[in-house]
Structure 1
Amino acid sequence: MSNVFKVEIINPEKSFLSKEDVVEVVVPAFEGDMGILKDHISIISFLKPGLVKVIGTTSGDETYYVEDGIIEFKNNCLSILTSNIFDIKKIDKNKVRDILAEAEKESQNQEISDEAKYLVDHKIEVLKSLTLN
């Protein structure tokens, strides 16, 4: 019996990734990191800044950075809609530093809400981990 399912990652420009041989996907949901396996209960959730890990049967593991988004898992198909995504293997360190500097500036803004500050601070933490690798 096969234990694989389909994943699609879509951003505003294009269909970023489509795979049919995925064993597990770990997403940075607001509720915490969430592992999705075949036959997972149907779910819709929001994403916070973090890493999406796609574990496949033939292509190995792939890891992507997302800033935000929505996931839906239904009928063994995981759809991830995100506004900004990049492959950490093809990372442009200068781009990450620019995004990090912008996030740090935003974090210093005294007028942002607690929720926005939480998201920005989490984004900073993830981006710093990417620049250290």
Structure 2
Amino acid sequence: MANTMQFDLVSPEKRLASLEATQVQIPAAEGDMTAMPDHAPVITTLRPGMVKVTGADGSETSYAVTGGFAEINAEAMSVLAEHASEGAEGKVALEGFLEDARGRAADASGDTRDVAEKLVADLEQLLEAMV
């Protein structure tokens, strides 16, 4: 059993991380999950939330993501985020996403409104977690 796995986090703007990790927690669409070395292969979508990485040296780093995908296997995990930022650096951008999401939720109807309101709630929770 390996002690670490390769972790990569990229967004359309830039690569935010590429390091050896002992575990990575992600906000998967089905619920939060933790990936560790020798994890079974999985591809999952992400909801807005925090990606928490424990490095090989024991250091912990958090990244805010607005959504995206994660691919996990025994040796590595790659997160392809719609938008991502380390720590509080992206708070202003996330507040802009939240305002846009609120406007879209107000204009939506039926199932689309339910999905939009869930996105608003997830973004609000993410911003609260960043404080």
With the length of structure 2 as denominator, give the TM-score of the two structures.
Answer: 0.84
Which piece of structure 1 moves more, 30-39 or 54-63? 54-63
Written as runs of structure 1 = structure 2, the 5 A alignment for 1:109-128 is 109-111=107-109, 113=112, 114-128=114-128
Unaligned runs of 5+ in 2: none
Task: Find out whether 1:81 has 2:80 as its counterpart.
Answer: yes
Give the letter aligned to residue 82 of structure 1.
Answer: A
Query: Matches of 2:118 and 2:128 in 1, distance apart?
Result: 15
Displacement of 1:128 in angstroms is: 3.0
Query: Matches of 2:81 and 2:91 in 1, distance apart?
Result: 21
User: Aligned residue for 1:98?
Assistant: 96
SS in 2 for 1:97: helix
Written as runs of structure 1 = structure 2, the 5 A alignment for 1:3-82 is 3-20=3-20, 22-58=21-57, 60-82=59-81
Aligned length: 129
SS in 1 for 2:63: strand
Unaligned runs of 5+ in 1: none
Query: Matches of 1:95 and 1:116 in 2, distance apart?
Result: 18
SS in 1 for 2:45: strand
Displacement of 1:124 in angstroms is: 1.8
Query: Matches of 1:93 and 1:83 in 2, distance apart?
Result: 15
Displacement of 1:125 in angstroms is: 1.9
Displacement of 1:93 in angstroms is: 4.6
Displacement of 1:58 in angstroms is: 2.0
Deviations 1:85-110 (A, max 9, x none): 00115x25544433333333333334
Displacement of 1:2 in angstroms is: 4.4
For the 8 Å contact 1:104–1:124, the answer to whether it is kept is no
Percent identical pairs in the alignment equals 29
Q: CA RMSD in A?
A: 2.1
Runs of 4+ with deviation above 4 angstroms = none
Displacement of 1:129 in angstroms is: 3.2
